[in-house]
Amino acid sequence: MEVLDHREKEFPKDLEGRLNAVLNVVNTEFKTLTLLHLDDYPASCSEIKSRIRENVGVQIYLPHESSFGKYCNQSLFPIGTVAEEDIVYEDKRIITSYKLTEAGKKYGRPIAAFTLDYGFKNDLSMLSILGVTHSNREKRSPSSRIKILEKLREGDLRVTDLMMALNLEDSTISLALNTFNKIGFVNFDSFGETFGKGRFKYIWIEDKDYNKLVPLYRYSKLTYKIAEKLKELGKSDCHELSISLGNIHINMISSILSHLEKHGFTRREDIRWKAGKVLSKIALLDKGKKFLDNYIYLIKDVLNDGIRLKEMNSLHEKLVLDVDRLRKYSIKAVNNYKRISPHVNQKPVEETQEKIIKYLKINPGKRACEIKKDISLKNLHSYLTPLFNLGKVTKTRDGKVVRYYVNE
């Protein structure tokens, strides 16, 4: 065995960068388990899966071995917790393998062990709190969610307040608040304002110099169009502006209106009080505060080389030496993840297509919107179009109305 190439990236030096990096590793249990099962000896993706399989046993679900390579290549390697090596074996095969870096050993393993312990004791998947990682952009979901919780700790806020204070899109905040509401981290009173669909009226400020308007950098031309329309109408909301401007997406309009409000070109109509209660106020609950205190702030201390680093290293050492405990914690972690993961719980395509065929046999002539609603599918045509192409389903058109039937 010969190391053909060794690649390693630097672990972030600042606390915010470190926290952002680590949260995008421990947000799913399989990435956490991958980190815990790596050491100084390079392991291929199949070897990583074998190590975890030996830990949890043959009856427990594990993803395809290529997934473990993706966890390393797309999450652990970019933040500097694992090194990537191309290994040449005696039979001339070249296999990419992974092993821990010094940062991975110092910070990654103890935080992974602490996360596994935290999830076991609280019976939850970290995915339910931190969400998924969509890209390599700085404003990735896990760190954005923590910023939302920390901002709410300062006091009750509206959705718009969070958008302006954190410079986050309303869709990011809406998704986070929806999740936090379900798991009891926040209390959200959404009268008058629902996620991404605000019904608040915005009033144009007449004495504001229009020539000094600075557009929202993502929607430069649209900012001016909305400003002009709002100035013309005097007062409007997201829905009215969307319709008048040709059904522009409400989320885009909401972001621009918040931008205009921030810079003093418009203000919200004061309807905060109705029936004795404040509208659209988000309050951080005890459960959310405890998560910050008992998880996030301890991790921050570790990443800042604080006293908790020694404690988490001790936890890691005890966990790996206690095989039965590690197995119990790992199995619980997999089951917690499986319980909420949309990917793991996704039904096979064939099963969903069979469901569509059975439905159309009982309900011939249904429209796509009716099928989608009754079967609870988000993307009907990805299942329906192949059935049509295979001749298993036919359709008839009456003007703009399309109806579907089983081809028997």
Average pLDDT over residues 6-22: 95
Rounded (5°) CA angle 135-336-183:
75
Residue 192: the pLDDT is 41
Supply the pTM of this predicted model.
Answer: 0.67
Residue 268: the pLDDT is 78
Residue 167: the pLDDT is 87
Give residues with Cβ within 8 angstroms of 308, minimum separation 6. 298, 301, 302
Residue-wise pLDDT for 54-79, tens only, equals 999 988 999 889 899 999 999 999 99
- Which structure tokens are listed for 145? 């969610």
Residue 189: the pLDDT is 58
pLDDT at 140 over 70: no
Average pLDDT over residues 98-119: 97
Q: How far apart are CA 33 and CA 264, in angstroms?
A: 49
Q: How far apart are CA 256 and CA 272, in angstroms?
A: 21
pLDDT at 277 over 60: no
Average pLDDT over residues 177-186: 89
Average pLDDT over residues 293-297: 97
**What residue type is 379 in one-letter code?**
N
The DSSP result for 110-173, as a single string, is HHHHHHHHHHHHHT--THHHH-----SSSS-HHHHHHHHHHHHTTS-B-HHHHHHHHT--HHHH
The DSSP result for 44-91, as a single string, is -HHHHHHHHHHHH-TTS----HHHHHHHIIIIITTTTSEEEEEEE-TT
- Which structure tokens are listed for 283? 């309050």
Residue 136: the pLDDT is 45
pLDDT at 171 over 80: no
pLDDT at 186 over 80: yes
CB 136 within 8 A of CB 187: no
Q: What backbone phi and psi angles, to 5 degrees, belong to 230?
A: -65, -40
Average pLDDT over residues 87-106: 92
Please report which confidence band the pLDDT of residue 289 belongs to, taking 50, 70 and 90 as the band edges: very high
